[in-house]
Amino acid sequence: LHVLHAHGNRLHLDRLLDYPVHALSWADRDAGPSLAEMRARTGLPLMGGIGHADFAYTSAAAVRAEVRDAVARAGREKLFLAPGCALATYTFPELIRAARDEARR
């Protein structure tokens, strides 16, 4: 699986849509564009929906709400629910499990 991860602010993801990849990843919660915008622009699977910057300091309820919001914006098809970038190493596993469990609902 080849994933293109775009990093930074003010991304011009339209310029990357012709790359030979299987999925597109970026920090949609932090930098944009939103999952809904990219769903309208491409048929590529999208990877994102979970904010990474404050993930370690949020609640399980907030994580579950982000997962529900991501699914509402992008649909379940061709969506890899994931943080926009690396999570802090001190992130509580319970928060990761909350995201996983909500995604499975």
Classify 21 as helix, strand or coil.
coil
The predicted-structure confidence for 53-90, as pLDDT tens digits, reads as follows 999 999 999 999 999 999 999 999 999 999 999 999 99
Percent composition of the chain: helix, strand, coil (DSSP 3-state, to 5)? 40, 15, 45
Residues 6+ apart with CB under 8 A from 65: none
Counting Cβ atoms within 10 Å, is residue 93 exposed (0-12), middle (13-18) or buried (19+)? exposed
pTM, entire model: 0.91
Domain ranges of the chain: 3-103
Q: Is the pLDDT of residue 45 over 90?
A: yes
pLDDT at residue 105 tops 80: yes
